[in-house]
Amino acid sequence: MNKVKTVFFCQNCGAQSAKWIGKCPSCGAWNTYAEELIQKSTSSTVHQTGSNERKQTAKPLPIHTIAAAEYPRLMTPDMELNRVLGGGIVPGSIVLMAGEPGIGKSTLLLQVALRLESKKILYVSGEESPQQVKMRADRIGIKNDSCYVLAETNTALLFQYIHELKPDIVIVDSIQTLQTNTIESAAGSISQIRECASELQRYAKESGTPVFIIGHINKEGSIAGPKILEHMVDTVIQFEGDRHYSYRILRTLKNRFGSASELGIYEMQGEGLREVNNPSEILITQRNEPLSGICIAATLEGIRPLLIETQALVTAAVYGNPQRTATGFDLRRLSMLLAVLEKRCGFPFGLKDVFLNIAGGIKVEDPAIDLSIVAALISSFNDMPVSSSVCFAAEVGLSGEVRAINRVEQRISEAQKLGFERIYISQYNKVSKSNKGIQVIALSKVDQLIQALF
């Protein structure tokens, strides 16, 4: 006999409770509990996902006796995706791709599926009909006979098709549309997402097939559904970017098989997403006449050097409270840099409105961008341009000291490759004196920077 049961789930963190509560004891959010109907059918213990290999029981083994499994990674033709995944797709891994609606998640994964010619790929589309997927494939303009589209949201039927087809890669667009028979609540609810994801996870691990899951993100910008979804998958990648720009950034948030600070850059075009192999070129605007308030920072995203333009505008404050606005940079860090300039170098920023912008819609967390921001602020304050052939890479401390950063050699060589003539770094960074073609200037205090530039 089936037992009908309802449980209250926190829609924020996925915690469950037998009765409604106002404040979630696990994540602290208010009024997030919603009732969901759960019906565990008696057959639910027999999952249709896997083979019978799991019947044998696991035994504890000494770690040195375990043979290291060689994971031959599958390289996709998309070099940006390979890098973000930590060097190709790991067999049996489960990858969650999250992003805002319309950012290009479906386009990216369909494009990769179409370009992987030798592999059999199953694209499960719960959001769009096969005709719509076909229209997108026509736009991308790549023909591939081994890419199959399935418009099915019921996981039991889905796994049946998977066992018939035996695909090399499964793409699920999106996890919020899937539904399992073992749970009665609506598709997209916390318990459904959790159960469907665990069925997919079991399938991936048992069959060794990599599975890509597309997930929505909610208003606040975090991945919709329970936090446990992020724990269950091996890799979480986020696709982001400003809708008004055509550039898109693919970022790793979690990776069990590689670095979690990788970045891939794409450009959305009429026929799909184009990989941007040399991002520094697009992030620096081409200008003929020198402009004040613009400086170039040599930053590092993951292991990849990126030269990024920082723009500052300093104007007289018209209201009592001076305004500070920062796009792509931490506002508190900007206030700190302004305080340092005010106290240590005597610039009266307290009377000025300050606007800061990182070009290209990119968010930067690398502290090495500080020196470039300081230079842009002073350049705009004095209305004196900084030559477009110099760049900066150093952190600025509270007493106005210029601090060392990591991997300075890599940044210098990237700047040199892009034709910069001078780079300002910290005196505490040890650099071998073999940089031909670029002048490396070491500073210890912000004052020295001001003397050197203006």
Q: Which does 119 bind (CB under 5 to 8 A by kind): ligand TYD, Mg ion, none?
A: none
Of 246 and 448, which has the nearer Cβ to ligand TYD? 246
Q: Give the dihedral sign, CA 134/139/145/148.
A: negative
Of 106 and 182, which has the nearer Cβ to Mg ion? 106
**Angle (nearest 5°) at CA 116 between 113 and 121:** 50
Q: Does 104 bind ligand TYD (CB under 6 A)?
A: yes
Alpha-carbon span 50 to 203, nearest angstrom: 6
Report which of 222, 219, 170 is spatially closest to residue 196, judged by C-alpha positions: 170
Alpha-carbon span 437 to 209, nearest angstrom: 49
Tell me which of 115, 139, 254, 344 binds ligand TYD, using CB under 6 A. 139
Both tokens of residue 230? 């992020």
Specify the DSSP element, H or E, that contains 275.
strand 272-275
x/- track of binding to Mg ion for residues 57-96 (CB under 5 A)? ----------------------------------------
Tell me which of 32, 76, 106, 372 binds Mg ion, using CB under 5 A. 106
**Total binding residues for ligand TYD by CB under 6 A?**
15
Q: Does 226 bind ligand TYD (CB under 6 A)?
A: no
Tell me if 150 sits within 8 A of 127, measured CB to CB. Answer: no
Q: How far is the CB of 222 from ligand TYD (least distance, A)?
A: 16
Q: Does 22 bind ligand TYD (CB under 6 A)?
A: no
Q: Does 311 bind Mg ion (CB under 5 A)?
A: no
**Angle (nearest 5°) at CA 73 between 69 and 76:** 170
Instruction: Select the span of 135-143, 197-205, 276-284, 325-333 touching ligand TYD (CB under 6 A).
Output: 135-143
Please report, to the nearest 10 degrees, the dihedral formed by the alpha carbons of residues 297, 300, 305, 306 taken in order: -50
Instruction: Select the span of 24-32, 178-186, 268-276, 281-289 touching ligand TYD (CB under 6 A).
Output: 268-276
Q: Does 10 bind ligand TYD (CB under 6 A)?
A: no
Of 127 and 242, which has the nearer Cβ to Mg ion? 127
Q: Chain-centre distance of CA 74, in angstroms? A: 21
**Exposed / middle / buried, residue 251 (Cβ in 10 Å: 0-12, 13-18, 19+):** buried
Footprint of ligand TYD (CB under 6 A): 99, 101-107, 136, 139-140, 268, 270-272
List of residues contacting Mg ion (CB under 5 A): 106
